[in-house]
Amino acid sequence: MDEIKKIIVELIKPFDVKEDLDLLSPPKPEMGDYTFACFDLAKDRGEEPAKTARFLADQIQVNNIINKIEAKGPYLNFFIKPEIASKILMKSILAESQKKIFNSVGNNKKILLEYPSNNTHKEVHVGHLRNICIGNSLRNIFLANGYKVIPINYINDFGAHVAKCLWGLVKFHAKDNPPVNKQKWLGDIYAKASAYLENNPEYKSEVQEIQKQLEAKDKKIMKLYNSTREWSLLNFKKIYKQLGVYHKKTFFEKDIKKLGQKMVDDLIKKGIAKTGEGGAIIADLSKFDLNIALLRKSDGSGLYMTSDLGLALIKNKKFPRTAGSVHITGSEQEFYFKQLFKILELAGFKFKMTHISFGLVSLVDGKISSRKGRAPLFEDVWQSVFEKAIEETTKRHNNWSAKKINKIASTIAMAAIKFDFLKHESAKTMIFDPSAAMSFDGFTGPYILYTIARINSLQKNKTIKGKVDYSLLITDEEKQLIFALANFNKMIAKSLRTLNPSVIAKYAFDTAKFFNDFYNKRSVLKAQTKELILARLHLATTTKNILQSCLRLLSIKSVDAM
């Protein structure tokens, strides 16, 4: 693409165009392959942009690469000869499609990527699932752009929610035998305990007493705490494995609370923090338009901020030579992280800190809230989608073994879930519809998998060999697909620049659409000549390679057949 752009730039430059002129991609193929906006040049010439565009169209001569130059209003559109575009682009696309690292902008710099930061004694619901999907994909995007990624997790295993859960367990379920899914049971107990305490606030003192016992490490409560904590961690491990989550290091709040308190003391000595009304320790960030940050309660106990300060300190010691630290949490914590980052900056932390927020996840019945016990669990969502995948796969392949059906259906179901969570921009709210996510048509993961499976079926018939002549790929559908494939590297760079996996998801969907349009209108195996069959088979294979690379970036596995 750069090679073709350079040729066009050289054609425009003689007309007093600035060195950094920019070529755009028209929104529709019929408007050309590249377009040049004439606004700045027209301003310099003291005339209307449309007149400048007509002037350039008359003056610039077509060459062996440019097929046509056309003025449309203020824009100058360039049409590339399809046989030349195919020949130039396909060789480089084929090379790009084989890579694991596509850009070297990261230059092996280390990035800490912190996610999903879920809590013990609570469910893993679809809100956590969105965090995990974003984190997995960003890990791959950083790697593809030449960074070394250190995925870490920070698990809150010692907060007020733990005391609530243990209180509910002791109060209402002391004689119950735990079910098989102990983590789910704990989450349900926590949700019900929270709702009960809202309606019966007189019992809050009992929860506070359990919190004090935990702080003091009372033997009786610690035995219950340790066993229930382990239930959560074992379930997390199972879910992480299923979702492809890997962490280099996991930190726990119980291990860093004291370190956070020490950090607060240091901030007081440095004058960054001070005693506020009622004896609480605060950081006045008003001059940064960040209000007052509470660092320690008036009774001396810590908060989330206290622990996060300790976490920053221990991360800095454990991983001292990092270029940046990226945190993924819900959008409701945006202001909190602005306060945290400003305090760390004032304390002398030098590495770049980035907060990536994601919007709320809703189902058709409204906003998810674990506190109210209305959170659809990951396990429940998974089972629903998996059963649908089993049904669809069995319908299409009743001659397959049960083992093969389960394996393929599992891959399809996971692709459906992950793709649906990643196709939305992270900061926006989303509604997850399991049935829509499993559709084999439209903007879905199964649609991408189906396109790959379709190409695999073509490759089974590949018996023709020889030197490929890409200049034979001259139809509009072939040219459109080739130009889409040529933009792959650009999309990877954009996904890093915006820290937005939806860029890759949208690109994969558009590319799959272009391929299916080509496939439906142009025969591959029954093309007019053997040479054309070979060229089209190579185009299909290259498309598959690019689509599979997209899926890898989204942490989605591919399939051979569907």
The CATH number that applies at residue 31 is 3.30.1360.70
pLDDT of residue 492: 94
Helices (H), 423-501: 434-437, 445-459, 476-486, 488-498
Q: Is residue 440 part of a domain?
A: no
Residue 370 has what pLDDT?
45
Rounded-to-integer distance, Cα 152 and Cα 148, Å: 13
pTM: 0.91
Considering the domain boundaries, does residue 62 fall inside one?
yes
Burial zone of 408 (CB within 10 Å; 0-12 exposed, 13-18 middle, 19+ buried): buried
Query: By the 8 A CB rule, do 161 and 123 touch?
Result: no
- What residue type is 306 in one-letter code? T
Q: Does any domain span residue 113?
A: no
> How confident is the model at residue 200, as a pLDDT?
96
- Residue 236 in domain: no
| 20 assigned to some structural domain | yes
The pLDDT score that the predictor gives to residue 239 is: 96
Question: Considering 80, 102, 132, which residue would you say is the last residue of a domain?
Answer: 80
The closest of 100, 209, 110 to 160, measured between CA atoms, is 209
What is the number of domains present in the chain? 2
Enclosing domain of residue 288: 254-321
Helices (H), 60-159: 82-96, 126-144
- Hey, which residues does 329 pair with through a beta bridge? 357
Give the per-residue pLDDT at 159: 83
Looking at residue 30, what is its pLDDT? 82
Cross-strand partners of 274: 282
Of 56, 80, 104, which closes a domain?
Answer: 80
Could you give the CA distance from residue 486 to residue 92 in angstroms, rounded to a whole number?
A: 8
Per-residue pLDDT in tens (0 to 9) along the chain, 562 residues: 677 888 888 888 888 666 567 788 888 878 888 999 999 889 988 999 999 999 999 999 888 888 899 999 999 999 999 998 898 889 888 777 777 778 889 999 999 999 999 999 998 988 899 999 999 999 999 999 999 999 999 999 988 899 999 999 999 999 999 999 999 899 999 999 999 999 999 999 999 999 999 988 999 899 999 999 999 999 999 999 999 999 999 999 999 989 999 999 999 999 999 999 889 999 999 999 999 999 999 988 889 999 999 999 999 999 988 999 999 999 999 999 999 999 999 999 988 999 999 998 887 665 545 445 456 789 888 998 999 999 999 999 989 999 999 999 999 999 999 999 999 999 999 999 988 999 999 999 999 999 999 999 998 866 667 889 999 999 999 999 999 999 999 999 999 999 999 999 999 999 999 999 999 999 999 999 999 999 999 999 999 999 999 999 999 999 988 8
Indicate whether 329 belongs to any domain. no
Nearest to 3 by CA among 97, 86, 89: 89
- Pairing outcome for strands 281-284 and 274-275: antiparallel
What pLDDT shows up at residue 19?
58
Burial class (CB in 10 A: 0-12, 13-18, 19+), 27: exposed
Could you say which of 36, 57, 80 is where a domain stops? 80
Residues 6 or more apart whose CB falls under 8 angstroms from that of 144 comprise 100, 101, 102, 103, 492, 496, 553
Type and span of the H or E element at 384:
helix 378-396
Give me the pLDDT at residue 371, please. Answer: 47
Token duo for residue 354: 């980035």
Identify the DSSP state of 176: P
Sign of CA dihedral 10, 12, 17, 22: negative
Contact 120/156 with Cβ under 8 angstroms?
yes
**Domain contains 43:** yes
Does a structural domain hold residue 23?
A: yes
